[in-house]
């Protein structure tokens, strides 16, 4: 199993513990992206992401950004290693579905960079409850790399009662592992 897929699975676990959709809004929003080295499709995808962020803001959906820094030190008689990692988490108070792309334009600016602008119509689902800042979940026993045939075994310890759903997300498919 790929490390990235595992990280997305853990993220989905944590997000599904506190996310319950309530209100539904339809909004129209614009987005753009300027690129000097991406393909037209990649640049369009970035413009759509910008439009999605703008749609969430337009719908009044809140956003919580958190950062966690880690420092690891390993030492033996021959080596000393120090590793720094930072994890950022952005949690929005809603979900978005792009219903249709209303307008799309491609052009080049004075520097020769491709400019893609899009206008989307999107449905926003606002969560009825904000995430509980007192809720924490500890996940232990996950290895960095798994080989084919290896078993995935880990423990999840929440600070309070919760429902747990575990998803396996790969490039090709998504499936529910638990329950």
> Which of 125, 150, 16 has its CA nearest to residue 60?
125
Whether the CB-CB separation of 122 and 57 falls below 8 Å is answered with no
Neighbour-count burial for 90-121, b at 16+ CB within 10 Å, e otherwise: ebbbbebeeeeeeeeeeeeeeeeebbbbbbbe
Q: Tell me, what's the pLDDT at 81? A: 75
Whether the CB-CB separation of 70 and 103 falls below 8 Å is answered with no
pLDDT in single tens digits along all 179 residues of the chain: 455 555 555 555 555 544 444 578 899 999 999 999 999 999 999 999 899 989 988 988 877 667 677 676 767 777 777 777 666 666 677 788 888 999 999 999 999 999 999 999 998 888 776 667 777 888 888 777 778 888 878 888 888 888 777 777 666 777 777 77
Q: Where are the domains of the chain?
A: 3-178
- 97: which 2 tokens? 């579905």
């Amino acid at each position: 199993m790929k490390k990235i897929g595992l990280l997305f699975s853990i993220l989905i676990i944590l997000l599904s513990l506190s996310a319950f959709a309530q209100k539904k809004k339809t909004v129209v929003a614009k987005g753009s992206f300027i690129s000097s080295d991406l393909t037209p499709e990649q640049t369009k995808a970035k413009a759509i992401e910008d439009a999605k962020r703008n749609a969430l803001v337009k719908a009044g959906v809140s956003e919580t950004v958190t950062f966690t820094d880690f420092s690891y030190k390993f030492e033996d008689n021959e080596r000393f290693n120090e590793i720094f990692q930072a994890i950022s988490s952005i949690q929005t108070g809603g979900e978005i579905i792009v219903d249709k792309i209303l307008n799309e334009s491609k052009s080049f600016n004075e520097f020769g960079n491709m400019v893609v602008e899009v206008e989307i119509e999107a449905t926003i689902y606002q969560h009825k409850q904000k995430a509980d800042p007192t809720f924490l979940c500890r996940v232990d026993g996950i290895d960095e790399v798994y080989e084919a045939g290896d078993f995935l075994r880990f423990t999840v310890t929440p600070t309070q009662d919760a429902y747990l759903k575990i998803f396996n997300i790969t490039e090709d498919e998504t499936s529910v592992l638990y329950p």
